A and B are shown apart, each in its own frame.
Chain A
């Protein structure tokens, strides 16, 4: 059974068309990750599903009905920290439980259960302003844990979290995978999308490809990626490396990712070539492709905020 069915969806803001004919089908109990760079239209798409944004054209159905009729079963967690910092964790959850229609006693019972489950019982009566970023995010995500919620929609939940908080958070989401909830996770971080059963890659208002993480990697044809860390990043270094990346070259925070057919043979040549221009290599490693690599291969666009893609064809 389809939990979410979207056909030919368009959204236009004044002169800008953000969604350009999106088609998306998510089965009941499926864990679907929607991945794409900022500005791809992900948040607009889930905003429409959560009935926060109105579509311009197209069909959106939640279990065969219009989204605004299904608000009771949708748990939408926006990107922002929406919990009240002056209230305690327990008071925040009580507020949302009561808004969902639970009686005071039932709400208390549910909130206690949820707090126990996410390990926040001890800190439940502390004000949220005293919580760490990870604790606050966990609290906000569980506002979608109430039993009547069948579809959980998470918008970039790990943004701004430190690695340990991110790990904790993803653990919580993975736990939920086995439950009778459909999860739609929006992210621009490949590692977050890896835990999903199906991933949709979104670019410029369209879903350009979808499948399981393994399937997408297989389809991309990328077997290996060469990760090179250099102390400096410059035009000269990029020009040298681009000669080896016949499938593209991506500049990252730490260095470069080179998409080439024959990574093992190419590695010594890269070391030599960089040595010739006086650039030392801090680390060179053959890695398995990530979903970010798949996305780059498909769109020649970087998944992160800045779109400073380093397209091989531009450099040659």
Chain B
């Protein structure tokens, strides 16, 4: 337990004290919530505006989690590797999986904070939701799916690209491009058919649509993402990405030369 707690404490403190991490994971999505809630609702009917704002807020929470998993986690690992901390850890009685659990828990805690702040910003801008308590809990599960899928992609890139800036920039690039083409920044209905297919397959956008469906209804999600097939695919792909990331991390970052 000591290793997990120590790593958790270290990770969360590093996230909270790193200005670039705070900006990109919390401030940047909040800026988009502010812009989206006031700019992208012009022309909409008055009674649907709060729900469009709700949809924008959910997408930006997803974006914050994507950045946390894809950029912050591999950034943190690459930084530790670059400054020799992983070499030091390899010489200590520390198992890679305990170190990993500590890091993931730190990421989850930080992501919770980021999600709450983005949510509060959305609510302050007039975002409203219409889900039940049950759908809120289901949404939390989908948020975790988003986080684990992002962390998986982040770990894969972080393991392959050893340089901190290279890893972070690659992951930011992946998160922004995939968010753009999978409908995180635009309504599902406005995507061309091929990207709609991608949006259903890509676990992050699929889980995002599921949350919108659960908290706002089908008309805001654009389709029903809670079909058995799609939910199963989303869970399996997220799990696979995470496991592959974990295996690569423990195999290569902790490998003895």
- Please determine whether B93 and A100 come into contact, CB atoms closer than 8 angstroms: yes
With contacts A87-B13, A87-B14 known, is A76 near B88, CB below 8 A? Answer: yes
Encode contact with A along B107-129: 1 for CB under 8 Å, 0 otherwise: 00000000000000000000000
| Interface size counted on chain B using CB atoms at 8 A | 24
* Bound CA span A54–B90, Å: 12
At the interface with chain B, which of A31-39, A44-52, A161-169, A211-219? A44-52
Task: Name B3's closest neighbour in chain A (CB-CB).
Answer: A99
Q: How many whole Å from A162's CB to the nearest CB in chain B?
A: 20
- The residue of chain A having its C-beta at the shortest distance from the C-beta of B87 within the complex is A78
Within the assembled complex, what's the spacing in Å between the Cα atoms of A225 and B6?
53
Ranked 5 nearest A-B pairs via Cβ: A80-B84, A98-B6, A76-B91, A50-B91, A82-B84
For B197, the chain A residues whose CB sits under 8 A away are none
Q: A84-B14, A95-B7 are in contact. List 16 more A-B contacts (CB 8 A).
A: A51-B91, A51-B256, A52-B91, A53-B256, A53-B257, A71-B92, A76-B92, A82-B84, A82-B88, A84-B10, A86-B14, A86-B17, A87-B13, A98-B2, A99-B3, A102-B2
| B120: min CB distance to chain A, Å | 26
Determine whether B130 belongs to the interface, using a CB cutoff of 8 Å to chain A.
no
Note all chain A residues with C-beta closer than 8 A to B3.
Answer: 98-99
Is B47's CB within 8 Å of the partner chain A?
no
Q: How far is the CA of A184 from the CA of B7 in the complex (A)?
A: 28
* B89 in the interface (beta carbon within 8 A): yes
Residues of A within 8 A of B88 (CB): 76-78, 82, 143
Q: Mark B1-15, 1 if CB is under 8 A from A, else 0.
A: 011011101100110
A84→B3 CA distance, assembly (Å): 16
Chain A proximity of B92: nearest CB distance (Å): 6
Determine if B83 is an interface residue (Cβ-Cβ < 8 Å).
yes
5 contacts between A and B (CB under 8 A): A52-B256, A71-B93, A87-B13, A91-B9, A98-B6
Say if the beta carbon of B236 comes within 8 Å of chain A.
no
Q: Tell me the A residues contacting B by CB distance below 8 Å.
A: 13, 47, 50-54, 71-72, 74, 76-84, 86-87, 91, 94-96, 98-103, 127, 143
Main secondary structure of the interface of A (DSSP, over half): loop
A154 to B59, CA, bound (A): 50
Chain B residues closer than 8 Å to A127, beta-carbon distance: 17
- The total of Cβ contacts below 8 Å across the A-B interface reads 81
- Complex Cα distance A84/B18, Å? 11
Q: Which of B9, B94, B256 touches A54 (beta carbons < 8 Å)?
A: B256
- B85 in contact (CB, < 8 A): yes
A residues in contact with B17, CB < 8 Å: 86-87, 127
Task: Tell whether, in the assembled complex, residue A100 and residue B92 are in contact, meaning their CB atoms are under 8 Å apart.
Answer: yes
Nearest CB on B from A54, distance (A): 5
Which residues on the B side are within 8 Å of A96 (C-beta)?
Answer: 92
Chain B residues lying within 8 Å of A95, measured Cβ to Cβ, are 6-7, 9-10
Considering only residues 224-257 of chain B, those with a C-beta below 8 Å from chain A are 256-257
The smallest C-beta distance from B233 to any residue of chain A, in angstroms, reads: 39
Distance in angstroms between the alpha carbons of A98 and B102 in the assembled complex: 12
A86 close to B18 (CB less than 8 A): yes
Task: Tell whether A82 pairs with B90 under 8 Å between CB atoms, given A53-B257, A101-B2.
Answer: no
Q: How far is the CB of A127 from chain B (nearest CB, A)?
A: 8
Cα A54 to Cα B14 with chains together (Å):
31
Cα of A99 to Cα of B5 in the assembled complex, Å = 9
Q: Is the CB of A82 within 8 A of B2?
A: no
Of all chain B residues, which has the CB nearest A70?
B93
- In the complex, which residues of chain A have a beta carbon less than 8 angstroms from the beta carbon of B87? 47, 52, 78, 80, 82
